[in-house]
């Protein structure tokens, strides 16, 4: 496995800036469960990195502020039983985090008004739906006359 970590097209973190720590992982492991150090913690010092430009360092510090401890970004991996698989997983996760953090911000949405034709279609649909509902509530009265009076009471026909 090469030591350098490629994050995107322009950012490659040299292996000398990555620090790995191994410890025993919880979970299944068979015979080697108590002897193998398969859990990997990969640390990258964002504040002291020589490869990050100042604008990228500020962007990473802002976007990953909750994950940084003293300017150091740490990723742990213990999903696999193999140390090598956990190392690859931790490196992939660190690259993904940094890739998302240095990406340019999304362009703000420009609000637009619906066209007159779209508004007319919407209102026509509402009128059609109201007509369907009006025909469903017909119970012997004229549907145009049934409805609330000015005082808020409903018309009822006594038999």
| Per-residue pLDDT tens over the stretch 31-82 | 665 667 888 999 999 989 999 999 999 999 999 999 999 999 999 998 888 8
Domain assignment present for residue 109? The answer is no
Query: Average pLDDT of 135-140?
Result: 75
Q: What number of other Cβ atoms are within 10 A of residue 114's Cβ?
A: 10
Q: Domain for residue 46, yes or no?
A: yes
- What does pLDDT average to over the chain? 85
The CATH number of whichever domain residue 68 belongs to comes to 3.30.160.20
**How many whole angstroms from its chain centre is CA 7?**
19
The pLDDT, as a whole number, for residue 145 is: 59
Task: Tell whether the model's pLDDT for residue 140 goes beyond 80.
Answer: no
Q: Tell me how far apart the alpha carbons of residues 21 and 11 are, in angstroms, rounded to a whole number.
A: 23
* 13 assigned to some structural domain: yes
Report which of residues 132 and 35 the model is more confident about: 132
pTM: 0.65
In this predicted model, what pLDDT tens digit does every residue of 5-19 receive, in sequence order?
Answer: 899 988 999 999 999
Evaluate the CA torsion angle 142, 143, 144, 147 in order and state its sign: positive
The answer to whether residue 70 sits within a structural domain is yes
Query: For residue 64, what are the domain limits?
Result: 5-102
Q: Per the domain annotation, does 12 fall within a domain?
A: yes
Query: In this structure, is residue 125 part of a structural domain?
Result: no
As for how many domains the chain has, the answer is: 1
Residue 98 in any domain: the answer is: yes
pLDDT of res. 58: 93
Rounded to the nearest 5 degrees, what angle is found at the Cα of 99, between the Cα atoms of 14 and 64?
A: 100
Cα–Cα distance for residue pair 150/138, rounded to 1 Å: 20
113 domain-assigned: no
């Amino acid at each position: 496995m090469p030591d350098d970590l490629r994050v995107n097209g322009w950012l490659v973190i040299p292996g000398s800036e990555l620090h790995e720590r191994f410890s025993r992982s919880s979970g299944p492991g068979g015979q080697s469960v108590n002897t193998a150090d398969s859990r990997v913690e990969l640390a990258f010092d964002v504040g002291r990195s020589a490869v990050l430009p100042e604008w990228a360092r500020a962007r990473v510090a802002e976007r990953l502020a909750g994950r940084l401890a003293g300017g150091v970004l740490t990723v742990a991996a213990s999903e696999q039983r193999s140390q090598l698989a956990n190392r690859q997983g931790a490196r992939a996760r660190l690259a993904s985090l940094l890739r998302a953090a240095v990406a340019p911000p999304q362009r703000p949405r420009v609000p637009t008004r619906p066209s007159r034709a779209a508004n007319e279609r919407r209102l026509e649909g509402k009128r059609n739906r109201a007509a369907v509902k009006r025909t469903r509530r017909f119970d012997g009265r004229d549907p145009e006359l049934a409805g609330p009076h000015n005082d808020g009471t409903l018309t009822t026909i006594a038999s």
